[in-house]
Chain A
Amino acid sequence: MTRYILLAVLAVVALIAPFFVYPILLMTILCFMVFASSFNLLLGYAGLLCFGHAMFFGAGAYIGGWLMKEGGLSIELAFLGAALAMAALGWVVGLISARRGGIQFAMITLAISQFIYFLLLRAPFTHGEDGLQRIPRSDLFGVVDVSSNLSLYYLVLAVSVAAIWFFYRIVHSPFGEVLRAIRDNEGRMESLGFVPERFKILALTLSAGLAGLAGAMKASVLQIATLHDLSFHVSGTIIFMALLGGLGTLAGPIVGAALVVLLTDHLAQFGEWALIIQGSVFLVVILFFRRGLVGELQAFLKRRVARA
């Protein structure tokens, strides 16, 4: 019951928020919430540390942006196209890397992301260092105008809610149960007749698709897609978001994404000090909130229930 009340409150807040807060900032938060969830699917539920996760986000931004600017597609098709293209890339990355675990998986994904980075630096349609600029916000279904910040906000909100619901569905599906079992004990799953790579490849495909969607949304929000989006810096930021909020909890990385985006926004005025402050926050979380903010909160509530 409390859950439904909480969801209702959240829904109201989300609907009226753009009247009080700058919509672009809110939409950036939503994009990173989806992106952080896709990362959580891999690390929190499949135990796969992807060190180059920004490749799906950044390349998704390029593809979504290109589809709207050069392809003249409507916005929902651009989102869909980016998600599908990134799912395909995730599948290929999975084929190459899924047999490896731990640090090897991390390094292979990092290497592939660097490769994609240079590919996009050199590709003719990306405009090199300049990136894709002045990406238009195409009409929804070719008819509904979403070029204003406010109307785009409601579209991005709807798509983000759908994406996070999809993430929730994956985690609480028969496949999600198998995935968590593989995370806990891969060898045992193999001895029970499962082929773990296949499940990891599927997880990577789904996660990459979600990250690609997040990237395409970001391209429509900021109307720009640059190499920065797929840089190692963004890959690192997403790890920070997930750990800050709490891995393997559904809401953790979502909360983490919101906090980090807000923190970055507020700290921008301090210039270079921003990174130092961010680093300190990270250190405190790692040392004192090992389960992340949401993870610690859940543990605290559980203890209180147990005592009562």
Chain B
Amino acid sequence: MGEYALEAQGLTKTFGGFNAVTDVNLKVRRGSIHALIGPNGAGKTTCFNLLTKTLTPTSGKVFLDGRDITRLRSAQVARQGLVRSFQISATFPHLTCLENVRVALQSNHGTAYKFWRSLKAVSALNERAHELLGQVGLGHQAHTPATELSYGKKRALEIATTLALDPKVMLLDEPTAGMGHEDIEPITDLIRKVSDGRTILIVEHNLSVVSSLCERITVLQHGEVLCEGAYAEVSNDPEVITAYMGGIDE
């Protein structure tokens, strides 16, 4: 096992002549919380999609625990322990919270194709599902359909669903996007809590969340890495300030 849990080498994605991401090199240290930040349209989400194979890179390679995963499909990547969340809330709206988590637990349970069994076949998973729901503060809402949850709780449910796969590396795409002030802190605490024993890469706009959570930060601009370092370094970097604030003479 190398020092880095997730590594990208020369990652490039072109959409019909437009370079969305160009030659991105990224190393995420095992056990750390690493942030990917940058102004709108910097290519953060594209980067994420490339790392999880939701998109196929035009060139470059992705390594998970030193193994080349560039050629794998996204479902296979998930099974190898790299699981992502989405920018827009990605729950299963017509399933209850319990079912949301349980269906994810089925991913490693070997029951998913059993159409002739009753749900008793997955009742063994209920305990773990309740445990995960409790961990994200949804313990008492196990039988509520996901669609009836508040926005912040949907994000919490999404994290519980992601945790169901016990991923080695979690990629969180703007976990606090669109959240009211009062929801942000619980989610930040939750991310800190679940980061124990895992590696997390996070795309985030809210810089106070980034500064409180992340050990290392990579700044993207126009699809390229602008700089990388700890929060203090990055936030004082003149290039970063220009990228965010806009240059005076621009």
Q: State whether B121 touches A174 (Cβ < 8 A).
A: yes
Are the C-beta atoms of A192 and B112 separated by less than 8 Å?
no
Cα–Cα, bound, A194→B107 (Å): 7
Query: Using Cβ atoms and an 8 Å threshold, which residues of chain B touch A192?
Result: 78, 83, 103-104, 107, 161-162, 164-165
Choose, from B17-25, B90-98, B184-192, the stretch at the interface: B90-98
Determine whether B179 belongs to the interface, using a CB cutoff of 8 Å to chain A: no
Report B's interface with A, CB cutoff 8 A. Answer: 52, 54, 73-76, 78-79, 83-84, 86, 90-95, 99-100, 102-104, 106-109, 111-119, 121-122, 161-162, 164-165
Q: Which of B74, B91, B103, B115 is in CB contact (< 8 Å) with A173?
A: B115
- Output the nearest chain A residue to B164 by Cβ-Cβ distance: A192
Between A and B, how many residue pairs show CB distances below 8 Å?
109
Q: How far is the CB of A169 from chain B (nearest CB, A)?
A: 6
- Cα distance, A198 to B122, chains bound together (Å): 20
Distance in Å from the Cβ of B72 to the closest Cβ of chain A? 11
Chain A residues lying within 8 Å of B108, measured Cβ to Cβ, are 193
Cα–Cα, bound, A191→B161 (Å): 11
Known A174-B122, A178-B103, A202-B113; further 14 A-B contacts with Cβ < 8 A: A173-B121, A175-B115, A178-B112, A184-B95, A185-B91, A185-B92, A188-B86, A189-B103, A190-B54, A191-B52, A191-B54, A191-B75, A193-B79, A195-B73
Which residue in chain A gives the minimum CB-CB distance to B52?
A: A191
- Shortest CB-to-CB span from B104 to chain A, Å, is 5
Are the C-beta atoms of B118 and A172 separated by less than 8 Å? Answer: yes
For A183, what are the chain B residues with a Cβ–Cβ distance below 8 Å? 94
A176 within 8 A of B: yes
Complex CA gap A180/B73 in Å reads: 22
A93 contacts partner chain B, Cβ-Cβ < 8 Å? no
Do A175 and B94 form a contact, CB below 8 Å, given A191-B84, A193-B165? no
* B95 & A180 in contact (Cβ 8 Å cutoff): yes
Query: Whole-angstrom distance between the alpha carbons of A43 and B167 in the complex?
Result: 32
B74 and A181 contacting across the interface, CB-CB below 8 Å = no
User: How many A residues, CB 8 Å from partner?
Assistant: 28
Which residue of chain B is the closest to A184 with respect to CB atoms?
Answer: B92
In contact, B119 and A172 (Cβ under 8 angstroms)? yes
Residues A187 and B90 in contact, CB atoms below 8 Å apart: yes
Beta-carbon contact of A173 and B106 below 8 Å:
no
Q: Which residue of A lies closest to B111 (CB)?
A: A174
Q: Kindly list chain B residues whose C-beta atoms are within 8 Å of the C-beta of A189.
A: 103
Contact across chains for B95 and A181 when beta carbons are under 8 A apart: yes
Scan A256-274; emit 1 where CB is below 8 A from any B CB, else 0: 0000000000000000000
State the CA gap A193–B110 with chains docked (Å): 12
Contacting residue for B115 out of A180, A185, A187, A206, CB 8 A: A206
Q: Is the CB of A184 within 8 A of B93?
A: yes
B164 proximity list for chain A (CB < 8 A): 192
A194 and B74 form a contact (CB under 8 A): no
**Which 8 pairs across A and B sit closest by C-beta, in order of nearness?**
A193-B78, A184-B92, A175-B115, A174-B111, A188-B90, A193-B107, A193-B79, A181-B103
Tell me if A199 is interfacial: C-beta within 8 Å of chain B. yes
Distance to closest chain B CB from A37 (angstroms): 14
CA distance A198 to B76 in the complex (A): 14
Tell me the complex Cα distance, A221–B103, Å.
41
Q: Does A145 contact B (CB under 8 A)?
A: no
B127 vs chain A, min Cβ distance (A): 16
Q: How far is the CA of A198 from the CA of B113 in the complex (A)?
A: 9
Complex Cα distance A185/B90, Å? 7
Contact B92 A188 (CB under 8 A): yes
Does A177 interact with chain B (Cβ within 8 Å)? yes
Give which listed residue, A173, A190, A195, contacts B114 with CB less than 8 A: A173
A26 in contact (CB, < 8 A): no
Of B73, B92, B112, the contact of A174 (CB 8 Å cutoff):
B112
B73 touches A175 (CB 8 A): no
Within the assembled complex, what's the spacing in Å between the Cα atoms of A184 and B76?
21
30 A-B pairs, CB-CB below 8 angstroms?
Answer: A169-B116, A170-B116, A173-B114, A173-B117, A174-B106, A174-B117, A174-B119, A175-B115, A177-B119, A178-B106, A178-B112, A180-B92, A181-B95, A184-B91, A185-B90, A185-B91, A185-B93, A187-B90, A190-B54, A191-B52, A191-B86, A192-B107, A192-B162, A192-B164, A193-B76, A193-B108, A193-B165, A194-B75, A198-B113, A206-B115
